[in-house]
């Protein structure tokens, strides 16, 4: 029995070794592909904006904007930033957000919405963090009130 | 240069009408937990993060209790900490170190309890652990901990040079979000024996000076609210009567929301007071707003 267990362990080990050896092939996939392509980006962007537009902390920022446009531009931005075949054609981040006088807490409220949207989409947490890692440096362009 | 070391930004602009100073604006987990001496960090090590969920426009406050059960000893730690504008952290902690039966073996009497009060301050100097993911520059903070140990006559008898002293530390912490990691390292100048619970320095030939000790920490974010981490912390070995070893911990920190966190750990605090290597577990509850 003892031997059987060890044999089993060695086989599992071999299985994982083979599996991880095959990982570099898929690692050449962009984050865009890993997250499910454009359809997933559109859903995540739309849900992020829906959640944000009803979040008491930041909903006021969405009162006078056309949500469908914001969703579309955010999907494009997600697509481009994750290495997908898109080009963000919306307004540049800095002038767009400056009049909103946003704080770090506002920025994080949007990040939390994006995290929840990704969770609902079934994106694994380590992939969610890869997107958050790309979005985080936008903090210096978006947050003007410190 | 003054702006770089960041003493200026403590002046905070006025809040918005509907904005609370208790803004809870950081992302969950990014305030860290409370380390054993009451500062923001992980289990055993101090981090450069300012405790609590206040952003640079807010204040976060929390209270913690930590219980450590070792082979021959127990350690309880209770304290409060406040993070001001993500710039300055102040903390106050009381520790009780129970000797149980080992107290009898050491001639102190069974259940003899050492203790100390720790007053901490930490100033964030520069860098950002979370947002500057496009740079390797970590968040760096300078801290001090004033420790005032009880039972001075016993500490004298054990050979400690003093019963109160100051630790100084410099911490660097960085989240590497694309790998779901936190990395932190701290250099500490200290002469504390067993964190200060057995006094400071030695009257013996081992000397009375502070030495440079290193704390390092690596943590992996398993889920949004669950972090698995490991700490390693070197300690001085000043006292003649007993060898003191380094400390290590492997922990799991759970953040059900921004108000509560629970940390459980397996710890190895090394040799303590002639009783051999002390291993055990660690449970810490933190609550804040």
Does residue B17 belong to any structural domain of this protein?
no
Does residue B8 belong to any structural domain of this protein?
no
Whether the pLDDT of residue B116 is over 80: the answer is yes
Distance from CA of A26 to the nearest CA of B (A): 16
Range of the domain at B165: 22-288
* ipTM of the prediction: 0.89
Mean pLDDT, rounded, for B7-19: 61
Contacts with B8 from chain A: Cβ below 8 Å: none
**Nearest residue of A to residue B132, measured between CA atoms:** A137
Bigger pLDDT: B208 vs B116: B116
pLDDT on residue B200: 96
pLDDT on residue A131: 97
**Which domains are present in chain A?**
36-142 (1.10.490.10)
Contacts with B13 from chain A: Cβ below 8 Å: 145-146
CATH, residue B189: 2.40.160.40
Tally the domains of chain B: 1
Are the beta carbons of A129 and B178 closer than 8 angstroms? yes
Mutate which of B133, B136, B255 to disrupt the A interface (most A C-beta within 10 Å)?
Answer: B133
Q: How far is CA A73 from the centre of its chain?
A: 14
Spell out which chain A residues touch chain B, with contact meaning CB-CB distance below 8 angstroms: 103-105, 108-109, 111-112, 115, 119, 125-126, 128-130, 132-134, 136-137, 139-140, 145-146
pLDDT averaged per 10 residues, chain A (length 146): 49 55 63 97 98 95 94 97 96 95 96 97 97 97 94
Q: B166-197, pLDDT tens digit by residue?
A: 999 999 999 999 999 999 999 999 999 999 99
pLDDT band at B9 (very low <50, low <70, confident <90, very high): very low
* CB-closest option in A105, A108, A133 to B177: A133
Mutate which of B134, B222, B226 to disrupt the A interface (most A C-beta within 10 Å)?
Answer: B134
CA distance to B49, B80, B140, per residue, from B130 (Å): 10, 24, 12
Does residue B1 belong to any structural domain of this protein?
no
Beta strands in chain B (DSSP E): 33-34, 40-41, 59-70, 74-84, 88-98, 113-126, 139-149, 164-176, 181-190, 211-223, 226-233, 247-257, 260-271, 277-288
Does residue B13 belong to any structural domain of this protein?
no
Whether the pLDDT of residue B117 is over 50: the answer is yes
Q: B20-43, pLDDT tens digit by residue?
A: 899 999 999 998 999 999 999 999
Whether the pLDDT of residue B73 is over 70: the answer is yes
* CB-closest option in A104, A115, A125 to B55: A104
Are the beta carbons of B116 and B42 closer than 8 angstroms? no
pTM: 0.89
Tell me the average pLDDT of chain B.
93
């Amino acid at each position: 029995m003892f031997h059987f267990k060890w044999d089993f362990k060695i086989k599992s080990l071999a299985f994982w070794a083979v599996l991880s050896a095959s990982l570099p092939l898929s690692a050449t996939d962009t984050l865009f592909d890993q997250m499910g392509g454009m359809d997933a980006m559109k859903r995540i962007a739309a849900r992020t904006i829906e959640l944000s537009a009803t979040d008491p902390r930041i909903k006021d920022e969405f009162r006078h904007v056309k949500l469908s446009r914001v969703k579309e531009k955010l999907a494009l931005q997600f697509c481009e930033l994750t290495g997908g075949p898109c080009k963000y054609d919306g307004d540049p981040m800095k002038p767009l957000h400056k009049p909103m006088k946003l704080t770090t807490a506002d920025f994080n409220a949007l990040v939390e919405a994006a995290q929840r949207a990704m969770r609902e989409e079934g994106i694994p947490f380590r992939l969610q963090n890869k997107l958050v890692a790309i979005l985080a440096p936008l903090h210096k362009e978006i947050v003007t009130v410190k | 240069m003054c702006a770089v070391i960041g003493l200026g930004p403590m002046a905070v602009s006025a809040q918005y009408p509907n904005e609370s100073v208790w803004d809870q604006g950081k992302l969950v987990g990014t305030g860290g937990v409370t380390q054993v001496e009451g500062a923001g960090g992980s289990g055993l090590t101090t981090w450069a993060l300012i405790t609590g969920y206040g952003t640079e426009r807010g204040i976060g406050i929390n209270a913690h209790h930590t219980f450590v059960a070792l082979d021959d000893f127990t350690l309880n730690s209770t304290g409060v900490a406040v993070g001001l504008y993500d710039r300055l952290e102040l903390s106050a902690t009381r520790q009780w170190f129970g000797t149980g039966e080992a107290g009898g073996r050491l001639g102190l009497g069974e259940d003899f309890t050492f203790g100390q009060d720790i007053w901490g301050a930490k100033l964030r100097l520069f860098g950002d652990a979370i947002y500057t993911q496009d740079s390797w520059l970590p968040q760096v903070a300078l801290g001090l901990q004033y420790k005032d140990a009880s039972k001075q006559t016993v500490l004298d008898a054990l050979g400690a040079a003093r019963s109160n002293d100051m630790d100084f530390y410099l911490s660097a912490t960085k989240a590497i979000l694309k790998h779901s990691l936190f990395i932190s390292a701290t250099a500490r100048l200290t002469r504390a024996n067993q964190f200060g619970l057995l006094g400071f320095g030695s009257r013996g030939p081992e000397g009375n000076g502070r030495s440079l000790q290193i704390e390092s920490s690596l943590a992996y974010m398993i889920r949004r609210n669950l972090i698995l981490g490991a700490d390693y912390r070197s300690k001085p070995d000043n006292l003649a009567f007993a060898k003191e070893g380094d400390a290590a911990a492997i922990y799991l920190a759970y953040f059900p929301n921004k108000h509560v966190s629970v940390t459980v750990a397996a710890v190895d605090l090394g040799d303590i007071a002639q009783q051999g290597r002390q291993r055990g577990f660690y449970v810490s509850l933190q609550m804040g707003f």
